[in-house]
Chains A and B, each alone.
Chain A
Amino acid sequence: MDEQLNHAPCGFLTLSEDGFILDSNQTFLKLLNYSQDSLIGQHVNFILTVPARLFSQLYFFPLIKLEHRVEEMYISLETSKGEEIPVLINALLRREKERTVLECILIPMRKRNEYENELLLAKKDTEEALKAKHKAIMELKTTLKKLEFQKQELLELNQQNQKYKIETKKELELARIIQETSLTNPINNDKVQMEVYYNASGELSGDIYGIYQIDPYRYGIILLDVMGHGISSALITMTLHSLFQRLISAGYPVDLVMKELDSHLHKLFNSNEEARHYSTAIYLLIDTERQKVEYVNAGHPPAIWQDPDGTQYELCSSAPPLGTFEGVVFKTNTFTYRKGGRLLLYTDGIDPLISNYLAPLVRKTVSLSLFKLKEEILQCLNHEKNVDYKSDDETFILVDLK
């Protein structure tokens, strides 16, 4: 070995193909603190740490065999004192006359090694952090999936609800038509003239009325307001309707009609206190021949009778509402009238307007036709409703007796 190579600033080592040490330079011997004699003939494993022995078997020898060259391989050596020295190896496989030699140069890299250790540590930390991040993202994704599932469920429920709502609306509309079909038409002839207004607050009304001509001279007019409004009240109006239609058309006396309706409600709710409803009602039987009106007002807002000269009388309640107390005696009230009188019946949806607006209005418009009067009342209703009043079922009946 020439002097230059012997003292070159890097370790130089030749190995047999099997890994036995053939030669080394002084620099290398000094690095490992070995004498020439103690190294020559040893297997290279002798100067390698255990991991380096494994690594060289797994990578160094197969690689140099396959590629005849190894570059920049990191391994660790062990000095005679057991100190570990990280080195980089470059190696070359060279065929001499009869043998194959592996020539290696080795450069210690303590500082770089420490630096790389730090880098690897940082890399591992980063990988851990990345793993944790992935895990967190996965968890978030799971949560998101759950939320989306729940959202979907809500949407489906909402859809069902919507469908139900539409169906219900359709049903209610049909019910409204049925309820309105049960209403009678106003009667207009040479003796009487009528106008009716009927308006439910919702789809169905708790108000109901009936107008019947009993014989050529007599007319029955009834107006009821079942407490509350909506479906339950409307159902009760329908049972009452079928009853009063029969009674009035058959010409029963006023007090008896009211008595029957009262007992009907008591019977209806006899065994079901929770469902109990009562109803206010006013029934008038008008005899145009005798110019006489018989009536009973059971808890209903007073009807207004107006003489042709504009004098107004209130047909006040003389009994509690139907369905409240059992055994109530309904007493018929009677008055006679002059032709040209005017009658106004209404339910409590209109009641609050009566004293301030409608009564004076009716008086003021003695000469106005019924049709015009109805329009005026409606105008007044619409105007006031917007300002002050919650919507309730509204019904009124106007009658002129000629």
Chain B
Amino acid sequence: MDQNILFRNNVKINGKGTQSIIFAPGFGCDQSVWKSVAEAFEKDYQVILFDYVGLGRSDIHAYDSKRYSSLLGYAQDVLDVCEALDLKDTIFVGHSVGSMIGALASLSHPEYFSRLVMIGPSPYYLNDPPHYYGGFEKEELLGLIDMMDKNYIGWANVFASTVTNNPERHEVKRQLEERFCSTDPIIAREFAEAAFFADNRSDLKKVTVPALILQCSNDIIAPLAVGEYIHHHLPNSLLKIMDATGHCPHMSHPEETIRLISQYLNEESVSVEGSPAGRGVNL
């Protein structure tokens, strides 16, 4: 076991099961976003949480602007963790850009993964008319990055300082300090550029690992059309439309998220909601 990687990516392992399940955060977040969902799996699984280099409590000294200028750099983090833990046939659960990172990782080492669970994935955030509508124009994404700048995203403790004085939440506050989002403004910006301008549409058809796509209702970041596009191009995929709205169902609707993932993992066959006929997969 490569302790260096475990330290570098702040890897945490919990749970009583033998089957491993690894949770990958989305853009700009660390493993704390999985708190509610991940805990639910500890009874039956070996639950693995980690932070990408540059986020949370990873070893920031290992950050390399060149490596992390592309999602492949983040995918390599996932592969490094799998290799360090000698994982085989693990279940990969990724949120948002984290799910694309997992899909990319599975291209070079499909044997590491038995299932991909993709929550709110998008292979490309920009519109590419007339056939693809990712949801955004380039200026709008640049506007988002500017807004991050103006909210001092990445400035130490900006969010932690908002935590209440409620003593019950004291523990939570401590966990959140410096962790929820990037602690370094340059890293936050570079991650944003790597995540929001990546075009991984052509990679979808190469994925061989079976995948569940969890599509939120009313998700402006990953709209329904994008979820359907992925389902259409990703072999062996199953699309589930969630009742949950927004882009972060694992945080806003943990129960539904847990239920759908569990169902997918447990049931031999899953009926397909809202997907083109015949593209559901028998498991």
Contact = CB atoms under 8 A, between A and B. Distances in A.
A167 interface: no
Nearest to A65: B251
B44 interface: no
B218 A66 contact: no
A67 B27 contact: no
Contact of B162 (A43, A51, A53, A70): A70
A59 B252 contact: no
Interface in A29-72: 43, 45, 49-55, 57-59, 61-63, 65-72
Interface string B134-165: 00110011011011111101000001011110
A224 B60 CA distance: 85
Contact of B151 (A18, A43, A59, A66): A59
A73 interface: yes
A63 B159 contact: yes
The DSSP consensus for interface residues of chain A is helix
Given A54-B140, A54-B221, A66 B251 contact: yes
Contacts of B153: 59
B119 interface: no
B176 A66 contact: yes
Interface stretch (B81-89, B198-206, B241-249): B241-249
B28 interface: yes
B255 to A, nearest CB: 14
Contacts of B151: 55, 59, 73-74
Interface string B209-230: 0000000001111000000000
Given A54-B140, A58-B27, A63-B180, A74 B147 contact: yes
Nearest to B125: A54
Contacts, number: 97
Nearest to A18: B245
A54 B247 CA distance: 9
A19 interface: yes
A51 to B, nearest CB: 3
A67 B251 contact: no
B137 to A, nearest CB: 8
Nearest to A54: B144
Interface residues of B, number: 40
B164 A65 contact: no
Given A58-B27, A68-B164, A17 B220 contact: no
B172 interface: yes
Contacts of B49: none
A23 B252 CA distance: 21
A62 B164 contact: no
Contact of A57 (B32, B33, B141, B246): B246
B234 to A, nearest CB: 23
Contact of A65 (B32, B141, B163, B252): B252
A205 interface: no
A120 interface: yes
Nearest to B120: A57
B201 to A, nearest CB: 20
A116 interface: yes
B105 interface: no
A51 B220 contact: no
Nearest to B142: A51
A74 to B, nearest CB: 5
A116 B161 contact: no
Contacts of A51: 140-141, 143-144, 146-147
A75 interface: yes
Given A67-B162, A69-B162, A71-B162, A62 B144 contact: no
Among B141, B162, B173, the most chain A Cβ lie within 10 Å of the Cβ of B162
Given A17-B252, A51-B147, A62 B162 contact: no
A188 to B, nearest CB: 90
B140 A120 contact: no
A19 B149 contact: no
Given A18-B246, A50-B143, A67-B164, A55 B148 contact: yes
A76 interface: yes
Interface in A102-151: 113, 116, 120
Contacts of B246: 18-19, 57, 61
Interface string A183-201: 0000000000000000000
B144 A61 contact: no
B79 interface: no
B163 A67 contact: yes
A55 B144 CA distance: 6
Contacts of B140: 50-51, 54
A19 B221 CA distance: 14
Contacts of B180: 62-63, 66
B248 A61 contact: yes
Contact of A71 (B33, B161, B169, B173): B161
Contacts of A71: 161-162
Contacts of B28: 58
A191 B29 CA distance: 116
A399 B79 CA distance: 102
A69 B221 contact: no
B181 interface: yes
Contact of B220 (A57, A66, A70, A73): A57
18 contacts: A17-B252, A18-B252, A19-B246, A43-B218, A50-B143, A51-B147, A54-B144, A55-B151, A58-B247, A61-B246, A61-B248, A62-B29, A66-B180, A67-B164, A67-B176, A70-B162, A71-B162, A120-B146
Given A19-B245, A59-B151, A62-B180, 15 more contacts: A18-B252, A54-B140, A57-B220, A58-B247, A61-B248, A61-B251, A62-B29, A63-B180, A66-B176, A67-B169, A68-B164, A69-B163, A73-B151, A74-B151, A120-B150
Pairs of residues from A and B, 8 with the lowest C-beta to C-beta distance, nearest first: A51-B143, A50-B140, A51-B144, A57-B247, A71-B162, A54-B144, A55-B147, A74-B150
Interface of A: 17-19, 43, 45, 49-55, 57-59, 61-63, 65-76, 113, 116, 120
